Amino acid sequence: MAVYTEIDDQTLSAFIADYDIGELVSYKGIAEGVENSNYLLVTSQGPYILTLYEKRVNPADLPFFLGLMNHLAGNGLACPTPVAARDGEALRELCGRPAAIVTFLRGMWPRRIQAHHCAQLGTALARMHLAGEGFTLTRRNALSVDGWRPLFEAARPRADEVMPGLADEIARELDLLEARWPTDLPHGVIHADAFPDNVFYLNDQFSGLIDFYFACNDLLAYDVAVCLNAWCFEADRSFNATKARLLLASYRKVRPFEDAELNALPLLCRGSAMRFLLTRLYDWLNTPAGAFVKPKDPMEYLHKLRFHAAVSGPGAYGLE
Ligand SMILES: Nc1ncnc2c1ncn2[C@@H]1O[C@H](COP(=O)(O)OP(=O)(O)OP(=O)(O)O)[C@@H](O)[C@H]1O
Ligand SMILES: N[C@@H](CCO)C(=O)O
């Protein structure tokens, strides 16, 4: 369960007294999520989410993340909004950690992904890309092509423990991705981790995006590639071209793709598969047995990478 920092009720009540959000009625730790400690707070005014930012979040990035949620919500995107305390600050400190309260978003993430979820995701992602325009803070994507080799080098000596030959296969792919990675496509603010557990639906209707803690400035089509990987493969590892077609078609109704973006999709999907393969591999090799959070399977992303490496063009994603 992802509650790394325990809070007692007196400390929490004192913390909340600095806000205009009513009095604490109850609170409980949220088991989901792996990066930060999250609490559901119920006050006399309703539910809120309290997040204590743990070690993997760089405190210097927090003004970007919180400012972005404000900017996106202000431009009509359904997402949590940081709540400022009476001193006007949303970013505060609790139990020695940076902490923020954000508004509660109704809905649930889809446990069984259906085609209509993908269609609605495409619309929401494109709206997010448009809503991000004009946001003045910037954050480099530390997990884009420049960040992959250091992660690989850290995992390389033990990569073959996961699968014989894995280190060589990643090395070959990485050479290719570094040589061919595009730089001249439309860019802007991307979510960069819009996996199903970060997208909420209420009565089968999209109700909002959460978890902007990987958001950054990068190629917009790369965000689409992340989603194709995270939403359009089935449990038997097959690619569902219908889901991909719906995701892409609804995205392109809101923010049309340039030809260059379309043509780059197989490479961007390959790169996004590499990103999650490497972060998962690193975690797999560095999470102590019996740890609190179970690491995610890196091999899932090796299979996705192989799929994209074998496609002959963007037509593989259900496009005409
Ligand atoms: N604003 C919100 N409204 C409602 N529920 C939320 C909100 N923010 C977070 N949650 C709940 O907390 C859970 C964990 O949140 P989140 O995904 O941000 O965790 P994390 O540890 O920061 O990230 P990660 O998913 O990268 O591990 C979500 O699955 C959801 O149940
Ligand atoms: N979405 C990531 C986890 C970190 O947010 C993964 O599935 O590997």
* pLDDT grade for 1, boundaries at 50, 70 and 90: very low
The pLDDT tens digits for 184-197 are: 999 999 999 999 99
User: ipTM for the complex?
Assistant: 0.93
Give, for ligand 2, the residue of 279, 293, 304 to mutate: max count of ligand atoms closer than 8 Å to Cβ: 279
| CA 158 to chain CA mean position, Å | 27
How far, in Å, is the centroid of ligand 2 from the Cα of 10? 34
122 has a pLDDT exceeding 50: yes
pLDDT band at 34 (very low <50, low <70, confident <90, very high): confident
Pick the CATH number of 115-317 from 3.30.470.20, 3.30.1490.20, 3.90.1200.10, 1.10.3470.10: 3.90.1200.10
Handedness of CA 255, 315, 204, 213 (dihedral sign): negative
pLDDT at 320: 65
Please give the CATH superfamily to which domain 9-103 belongs: Phosphorylase Kinase; domain 1 (3.30.200.20)
- d(C-alpha 120, C-alpha 227), whole Å: 12
Residue 2: per-residue pLDDT: 67
**Spatial separation of the C-alpha atoms in residues 246 and 27, rounded to whole Å:** 39
Q: pLDDT tens digit string along 203-247? A: 999 999 999 999 999 999 999 999 999 999 999 999 999 999 999
- Interval between CA 179 and ligand 2 midpoint (Å): 26
Six-digit token string for 161: 């423990």
Q: Where do the domains of the chain lie?
A: 9-103, 115-317
- The rounded Å distance from CA 256 to ligand 1 centre is 30
pLDDT above 60 for 143: yes
Structure tokens at 156: 């390389």
CA dist 26 and 62 (Å) reads: 26
Whether residue 272 has its Cβ less than 6 Å from ligand 1: no
Average the pLDDT over 141-157 and give the result: 97
Instruction: Note the pLDDT tens digit of each residue in 266-304.
Output: 999 999 999 999 999 999 999 877 777 789 999 999 999
Give the mean pLDDT of the chain. 95
Q: C-alpha distances in angstroms, 65 versus 61, 69, 110, 200? A: 7, 6, 24, 19
Rg for the chain (alpha carbons), in Å?
20
DSSP string, the chain: ----S---HHHHHHHHTTSSS--EEEEEE----SSSEEEEEEETTEEEEEEE--TTS-GGGHHHHHHHHHHHHHTT-----BPP-TTS-S-EEETTEEEEEEE----B--SS--HHHHHHHHHHHHHHHHHTTT-----B-TTSHHHHHHHHHHHHHHHTTTSTTHHHHHHHHHHHHHHH---SS-EEEE-S---GGGEEEETTEEEEE---TT-EEEEHHHHHHHHHHHHSB-TTS-B-HHHHHHHHHHHHHHSPPPHHHHHHHHHHHHHHHHHHHHHHHHHHHHSPTT-SSPPP-HHHHHHHHHHHHH--SGGGGT--
Tokens of 130: 């448009």
> Contact 75/127 with Cβ under 8 angstroms?
no
Q: What is the predicted pLDDT for the residue at 4?
A: 76
Is this model's pTM higher than 0.80 or not?
A: yes
- pLDDT for residue 35: 79
pLDDT at residue 28, as a whole number: 94
% residues pLDDT > 90 (the chain): 90
Closest-lying ligand 2 atom to the alpha carbon of residue 213: 5
Q: Is 32 in the pocket of ligand 1 (CB under 6 A)?
A: yes
Residue 140 has pLDDT above 90, yes or no: yes
